[in-house]
Amino acid sequence: MNDPLIIAGVEYKSRLLVGTGKYKDMEESKLATEASEAEIVTIAIRRSNIGQNPDEPNLLDILPLDKYTLLPNTAGCYNIDDAVRTCRLARELLDGHDLVKLEVLGDEKTLFPDVSATLEAAEILVKDGFKIMVYTNDDPIMAKRLEEVGCVAVMPLAAPIGSGLGIRNPYNILEIVDNANVPVLVDAGVGTASDAAVAMELGVDGILMNTAIAAAQDPVMMATAMKNATIAGRQAFKAGRMPRKRYASASSPIDGTFF
């Protein structure tokens, strides 16, 4: 089935996007990322360690730019200036690469987004030529506003970042999907494979996750499970599920019974 995910005019086979944080080591990051078969992979931008382990393995060595689309993200930014600055540094770091994930957080306890700051940062970055995949809450109105200012994908949370609580508000996610003219990806909150399938069955275009894989007992196996669940959920959505009925409906014919 040729059913690509198209973001900012670029086709991707995989509808699963993964983060690279919280892994035990670089090797586990590499193996889990490979097992997920994700093509878009998020990274963070941080200060280089001055004078410490100059030969430590670099993340970009295990994520070759010819194989992966790196998605720098503004994780950890609590205001517009920090988020804009992070995106600009990422663009310099990656030789003009302009696809970024914007998140402006509002609160350390919940990590819910500050949506007014997110909207303002998105406007600044779109004017500056960035292609923005934006993290937001599951508010259909805000999702629409973010699309209107020019974001190339809208990424509502399913549950708080790192919570693993699954799809808490499927009707809002459905509403966002129904209204959107850009790809909608669930970003944050997925805990296990069934959550990924549920999200995809709602009709979202893709899922971005990190902790659900990295914090599993066996991250590499969970990466495979998430890959399969994302595909299964997408196929079920495309296939169209049977209607729900209150009472039973026999699947063997009644005609021809001999008793």
Positions marked active-site: 101
Nearer to other proteins, 93 or 174 (CB): 93
Which 3 state secondary structure label does DSSP give 187?
strand
Nearer to other proteins, 72 or 166 (CB): 72
- Which residues of the chain form contacts with other proteins (CB under 8 A)? 18-23, 29, 42-48, 50-51, 54, 58-60, 70, 72-73, 75-76, 85, 88-90, 92-94, 103, 105, 111, 135, 161-162, 187-188, 208-211, 214
What's the min distance (Å) between Cβ of 122 and other proteins?
A: 17
What's the min distance (Å) between Cβ of 244 and other proteins?
A: 34
Nearer to other proteins, 165 or 236 (CB): 165
Enumerate long-range contacts of 53-57, CB under 8 Å, 24 or more apart: 57/26
Question: What is the C-alpha to C-alpha distance for residues 22 and 87, in angstroms, rounded to an integer?
Answer: 21
What's the min distance (Å) between Cβ of 209 and other proteins?
A: 7
**Of the candidates 159, 170, 182, 189, which has an alpha carbon nearest to the alpha carbon of residue 7?**
182
Tokens coding 59: 């993340």
Nearer to other proteins, 42 or 224 (CB): 42
CB 71 within 8 A of CB 44: no
Separation in Å, CA 206 to CA 4, 124, 161, 187, 199:
10, 26, 16, 9, 8
What's the min distance (Å) between Cβ of 19 and other proteins?
A: 2
Question: What is the C-alpha to C-alpha distance for residues 230 and 242, in angstroms, rounded to an integer?
Answer: 19
